[in-house]
Amino acid sequence: EVQLVESGGGLVKPGGSLKLSCAASGFTFSNYIMNWVRQAPGKGLEWVSSFSSGDAYIDYADSVKGRFTISRDHAKNSLYLQMNNLRAEDTALYYCVREKNPKDYYDFLTNKWRSNWSDLWGQGTPVTVSS
């Protein structure tokens, strides 16, 4: 079965650390860009970080840059998110997300650019930062 299963969430004090894991199965993990996306309670979706399929690039949202580190282990089909110096505003459900990229990024018919988009989501792991 094609799926993503997150783990590692929990309660941590401000300034603390936590490492999230995401186990991928049912597809060739190394072929895909993988992301972390979070959702604070009652709020919208926020992209957190991306790790490219060929390990060519890593990117972070400004809100987590310098505090969070994304990594992946192709042998274990796993994605990770090391979160340090956690703040109350990091409290959220953290989703592991597989990303699909289009065949061609530029559409000459409409003169518009396509984006990568998320085609598979885990169920999320909750992180609560509170004293």
**Binding region for another protein (CB under 8 A):** 35, 37, 43-47, 50, 59, 61-62, 95, 107, 111-119, 121-124
d(CA 96, CA 20): 9
CB nearer to another protein: give 12 or 122: 122
CB nearer to another protein: give 12 or 90: 90
d(CA 67, CA 14): 13
Minimal distance, residue 45 CB to another protein, in Å: 4
d(CA 79, CA 96): 8
Cβ neighbors of 72 (< 8 A, separation 6 or more) are 29, 34, 51, 55, 78, 79, 80
Minimal distance, residue 65 CB to another protein, in Å: 11
CB nearer to another protein: give 16 or 67: 67
d(CA 127, CA 34): 19
d(CA 50, CA 47): 8
Minimal distance, residue 44 CB to another protein, in Å: 4
Minimal distance, residue 56 CB to another protein, in Å: 13
CB nearer to another protein: give 44 or 54: 44
